[in-house]
Amino acid sequence: MDVKFNNRDPVYVQVIRHFKEQIAKGSFAPGHVIPSRRELANQLKINPNTVQRAYKEMEEQKLIYTEGNMPSCITKDEAVLKSVREELISEAVQVFISSIKSINAPLPEIMELVQKQYEEAEQRD
């Protein structure tokens, strides 16, 4: 568990985002146990309440569930897990397109740029 924070977005939002990315990647099996509020807070050097807020929202979105006072777990509902991935992809595509259109940039030319930079990023990994 390792999250790099930016200063712009609220920390709890970034935490949620991080979990969604992991889910989208398939890094979490359904029912997978996630760190307790306090433990994750320790790892990330943030306040337990900030984690709590993130977890609470994830619970409302059915991404995780909590039984009694056991550590929370990733949902077992595979439809939800799948939709997370679709949501992130669709979001990325929409943001991208609206950015491009807002400045009337020609798509083909931009696509080439994406292709090229993607490959460069690929090599850096």
Distances, alpha carbon 28 to alpha carbons 1, 31, 33, 121, in Å: 12, 8, 9, 25
In the bound complex, what is the minimum distance in angstroms from residue 23's beta carbon to a copy of itself? 9
Closest to DNA by CB, 36 or 100: 36
Q: Report 41-60 residues binding DNA (CB under 7 A).
A: 46-50, 52-53, 55-56, 59
Q: How far is the CB of 26 from DNA (least distance, A)?
A: 22
Query: Which structure tokens are listed for 6?
Result: 């930016």
Is 47 or 117 the residue whose CB approaches DNA more closely? 47
Contact partner at residue 25 from a copy of itself, DNA, none, CB < 5 to 8 Å by partner kind: a copy of itself
Please report where in the chains the tokens 């050097």 appear, as a residue: 45
Q: How many CB atoms lie within 10 A of CB 97?
A: 12
List, as own/partner pairs, every contact residues 113-122 make where C-beta atoms lie below 8 angstroms and the sequence separation is at least 24, other chains included. none
Q: Which residues are at the interface with DNA (CB under 7 A)?
A: 9-13, 36-39, 46-50, 52-53, 55-56, 59, 66, 68-72
